[in-house]
Every structure is written in structure tokens, then in C-alpha cells.
């Protein structure tokens, strides 16, 4: 009988290597593909050519060595142009609109589950796997249902469901909220049922040479994580100096360009406040129209509502009525409870029970019901309301 074929997105790192090894061990017909993504030319701290983790020759060599070790075919496929066009350019463009964008959403939607999925299907794959810490539950697989999900009237049964990874600290479901049914039905996240330490342990068990590799944190296309320098080089006009003003309208300083700031930021404002009752100032808002940075005291920060212009649901359809659930406004933010209200125009409003400090235009608002990702979207800058 023909074995089930799975294409694994490999990066040379621990997680995707273990994902590939687990699938081989489970008897799948595994094919590894590494995408060469666009990265800025540059030098690392040692003056060597940019050793970006996605694209460095060392990473390709690691991935190829692992594929050889596992006895699977391996291809490195150039995707620089499509990555720049679908991920990097929109990311730079979003800064120009005075938001704080997350490029991983577009990457997962257009590159991994677009460009790469197309190649996986062309290779006759039944599934595509990545090293993400997340889980997919298929309709047939009636594992103990995550708390709360099955009792909720708004959700259809029979859907493929996206769950958080078992490792709470590593959970990457936030950046995968862009996936829909046609993606989830073909997705596999073999690491999702493990915690990171177990994945490293598996890497050792499989004798994978990347077992001890350090975690990479920065955006993959930046040189040394310097997004400011990157933006100025890519699009100098995005960073025009302008006024720093209080909510009341008083100009109290100058900023170096809105992209260099994000909501909730305190450090780096460079303001000398001469009033006696001086208190720390925080960024409340980036005002693109006036190129102004609005600042205020900690108690002025935060909003109870977040608006999403285009809300995506993993079930492909919106819950028919408002849903009590939790939401995260940044990758590393804490989930907070509230009510998700789908809007007739395809957008959504989320009303938190308590004000949230970091609701930031450009970042994702992702909703959860227990471990299950309901969906999400990019917070809009149009109607982020100040604290009520």
C-alpha cells in the first residue's frame, strides 16, 4: 500500500528536525523542503555575511544533513522574491501606517500554507508538517475535548480544530490563527504534543546534530534583530521625526519617527519632564495623520476594546452570536477574558472584562476557547478606544 506522504518544512533547527524524525519514525513517506527566504544583506557581530537563521548556508547544510540522516529527499527552494513581496514589503508598509505589524501572519498564510503547500501538493503530499508548537485535532480524532470548546453552541462540530501546543511557554498557535479548514485539514504539527525539553530530548535520542542549537528569537529577515536600521534602509521615508504630545495636546518633545515606537513603550522616549509631579510616560498611540506620538501616564494606558477589520475564523465561519472567550493581543501577552462580537462587515470587536495595556494596531488579536484557537485578525488603528 502507498504510504501517506508528508512534506516537512525544514529550517535546520531543532523543532522542524524533530518533526521530520518523528514522522519518519511513525512510518510516513517524508519529504523535506527548506525555503530560502529573503533576508537583508548584512554582517553579523563577527563581520561574517548575514547568518540569518532561515537562509544561512550553515542552516541549509544542517537541514540537508538531517534529511540525509533520516533517509528522506530534501529540497531547498528559493522563495526570496515571493517572501519579500508577501511578507517583508507589507511589513514595512504597515510601519509606514503607524502600526506595529507581525510579519509571521502573512508568512504562515502566504508562504508556508501558500507557496510551500502548493509545492507539497504538487509532490503528491497528503499533509504538510512544520515544527510549530501547536496541535490540530481532526473530526475523527475525538481526543478529550479541550475545556469549554464542545459545550459552546456557536462552534460547528466536524471541523478541524487548531489547539495550543502542549508547552505553554513555547505555544505558537498565536501566529497560526490565520489557518482555515483547508489548511488545517492538511497540517501536521508533530512537536505540538511535546514540551521543548522533550523535543530536545527527542533530538538527542534521534542523534540529530541540532539538538543543542540555541533558540532564535528575532525576525528571520533582520540582521541582528535591528528592525530600526532595517526599516530606514528599506524605506527611509517611514521614519520622519515629529512631535510628542500629551493626550491633552501639549507638545512635550520630539520623536525620531513613529515606527520606532509601539503602544505601551516607556523606554527611549527621551523626554525631560520639568513639572514637579513628573511621572513615567508611556506611548498611548501612534497618530499617523499628525505624525505625532501620543504619550500619557500609566493610568491613561489601556483599552477595553479592540477592533479587527477582517476577522479570520479557523472554522471558516464566524460564531453566530457573541462568544465569551479569551484573547491575546500580542504573541507574548497574557490571555484575558472578554466577549468576541463578530461584526456584519467581516470585522470583529472584542470587549475585555478589564482594560488591556497593550492593544496595539498592527498586532494580532487572537481568540481562544480553552486550548482552541477560534480565530483572529489584525487590530485596527481606526477605532482603538481609550480606556473607558
Partner 1 sequence: MFYQVDALRITSMSQRRVYLDHSATTPMAPEALEAMQPYLGDYFGNASSLHSYGREAAAALDEAHFVVGCALGARASEIIFTGCGTESDNLAIRGAALAARKQRDLVRGHIISSPTEHHAVEATVHQMNELFGFDVTFLPVDVHGSVDPDAVRAAIRPDTVLASVMLANNEVGSLQQVSAIGALCREHGVLLHTDAVQAPAYMPVDVNELNVDLLALSAHKFYGPKGVGVLYMRDGTPFLPTMTGGGHERGRRPGTVNVAGAVGTAAALKLVARERGAQAERLRRLRERMVRGVIERVPDVRLTGHPDLRLPGHASLVFKDVDGETLLMALDVEGIAVSTGSACTSGDPEPSPVLLAMGIPREWALGGLRITLGYHTSEADIDALLDVLPGCVERVRRAALEMM
Residue 231: CB minimum distance to partner 1, A: 24
Element (H, E) at 18: helix 14-25
* Extended beta strands in the chain, E state: 5-9, 29-36, 74-78, 127-129, 134-137, 161-164, 187-188, 242-246, 251-255, 282-287, 292-296, 303-308, 312-313, 323-328, 336-342, 348-356, 364-369, 372-378
Is residue 379 annotated as a catalytic residue, yes or no? no
Residue 28: CB minimum distance to partner 1, A: 9
Residue 124: CB minimum distance to partner 1, A: 6
Positions that interact with partner 1 (CB under 8 A): 5, 21, 24-25, 29-31, 33, 35-36, 65, 68-73, 75, 77-83, 114-115, 117-124, 205-207, 209
Measure the CA angle with vertex 192, ends 187 and 195; round to 5°. Answer: 165
Q: Which residue has the cell 507581525?
A: 102
Active-site residue (options: 54, 55, 104, 107): 107
Residue 166: CB minimum distance to partner 1, A: 23
Distances (CA, A) of 355 to 13, 152, 303, 306, 350: 38, 25, 5, 10, 11
| Helical packing angle, 57-70 and 14-25, nearest 10° | 20
Contacts of the segment 80-84: beta carbons below 8 A, 24+ positions apart: 80/36, 80/37, 80/38, 80/55, 81/38, 82/110, 82/111, 82/115, 83/35, 83/37, 83/38, 83/107, 83/111, 83/221, 84/38
d(CA 42, CA 51): 9
In the chain, what's the furthest Cα-to-Cα distance? 80
Residue placing its CB nearer to partner 1 in the complex, 65 or 317? 65
Residue placing its CB nearer to partner 1 in the complex, 174 or 221? 221
Residue placing its CB nearer to partner 1 in the complex, 1 or 122? 122
d(CA 188, CA 193): 11
Residue placing its CB nearer to partner 1 in the complex, 60 or 374? 60
Residue 380: CB minimum distance to partner 1, A: 28
Is residue 107 annotated as a catalytic residue, yes or no? yes
Residue placing its CB nearer to partner 1 in the complex, 113 or 352? 113
d(CA 196, CA 242): 44
Active-site residue (options: 104, 220, 314, 379): 220
Q: Within 10 A of 232 (CB to CB), how many other CB atoms are there?
A: 17
Residue placing its CB nearer to partner 1 in the complex, 206 or 307? 206
Q: Who's near 186: CB < 8 A, 6+ residues apart?
A: 117, 120, 125, 126, 127, 128
Residue placing its CB nearer to partner 1 in the complex, 24 or 137? 24
Residue 24: CB minimum distance to partner 1, A: 6
Residue 307: CB minimum distance to partner 1, A: 30
Active site amino acids: 107, 220
Amino acid at each position: 500500500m502507498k504510504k501517506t506522504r508528508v512534506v516537512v518544512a525544514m529550517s535546520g533547527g531543532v523543532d522542524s528536525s524533530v518533526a521530520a524524525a518523528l514522522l519518519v519514525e511513525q512510518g510516513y513517506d517524508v519529504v523535506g523542503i527548506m525555503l530560502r527566504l529573503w533576508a537583508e544583506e548584512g554582517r553579523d557581530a563577527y563581520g561574517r555575511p548575514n547568518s540569518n537563521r532561515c537562509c544561512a548556508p550553515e542552516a541549509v547544510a544542517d537541514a540537508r544533513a538531517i534529511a540525509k540522516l533520516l533517509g528522506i529527499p530534501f529540497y531547498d527552494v528559493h522563495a526570496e522574491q515571493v517572501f519579500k513581496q508577501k511578507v517583508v514589503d507589507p511589513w514595512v508598509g504597515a510601519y509606514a501606517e503607524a502600526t506595529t505589524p507581525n510579519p509571521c501572519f502573512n508568512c504562515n498564510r502566504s508562504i508556508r500554507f501558500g507557496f510551500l503547500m502548493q509545492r507539497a501538493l504538487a509532490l503528491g503530499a497528503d499533509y504538510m508538517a512544520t515544527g510549530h508548537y501547536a496541535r490540530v485535532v481532526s473530526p475523527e480524532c475525538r481526543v478529550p475535548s479541550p475545556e469549554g470548546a464542545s459545550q459552546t453552541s456557536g462552534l460547528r462540530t466536524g471541523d478541524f480544530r487548531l489547539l495550543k501546543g502542549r508547552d505553554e511557554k513555547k505555544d505558537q498557535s498565536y501566529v497560526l490563527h490565520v489557518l482555515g479548514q483547508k489548511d488545517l485539514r492538511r497540517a501536521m504539527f508533530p512537536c505540538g504534543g511535546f514540551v521543548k525539553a522533550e523535543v530536545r530530548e527527542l533530538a538527542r535520542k534521534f542523534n540529530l546534530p541540532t539538538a543543542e542549537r540555541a533558540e532564535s528569537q528575532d525576525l528571520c529577515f533582520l540582521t541582528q534583530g535591528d528592525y530600526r536600521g532595517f526599516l530606514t534602509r528599506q524605506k527611509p521615508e517611514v521614519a520622519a521625526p515629529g512631535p510628542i504630545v500629551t493626550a491633552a495636546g501639549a507638545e512635550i518633545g520630539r520623536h525620531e519617527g513613529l515606527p520606532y515606537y509601539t503602544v505601551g513603550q516607556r523606554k527611549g522616549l527621551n523626554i525631560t519632564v520639568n513639572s514637579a509631579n513628573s511621572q513615567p510616560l508611556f506611548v498611548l498611540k501612534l497618530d499617523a495623520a499628525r505624525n505625532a506620538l501620543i504619550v500619557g501616564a500609566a493610568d491613561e494606558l489601556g483599552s477595553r476594546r479592540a477592533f479587527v477589520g477582517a476577522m479570520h475564523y479557523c472554522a471558516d465561519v464566524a460564531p453566530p452570536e457573541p462568544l465569551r472567550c479569551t484573547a491575546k493581543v500580542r504573541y507574548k501577552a497574557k490571555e484575558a477574558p472578554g466577549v468576541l462580537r463578530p461584526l456584519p462587515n467581516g470585522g470583529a470587536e472584542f470587549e475585555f472584562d478589564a482594560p488591556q495595556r497593550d492593544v496595539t494596531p498592527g498586532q494580532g488579536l487572537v481568540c481562544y476557547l480553552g486550548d482552541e484557537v477560534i480565530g483572529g485578525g489584525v487590530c485596527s488603528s481606526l477605532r482603538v478606544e481609550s480606556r473607558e
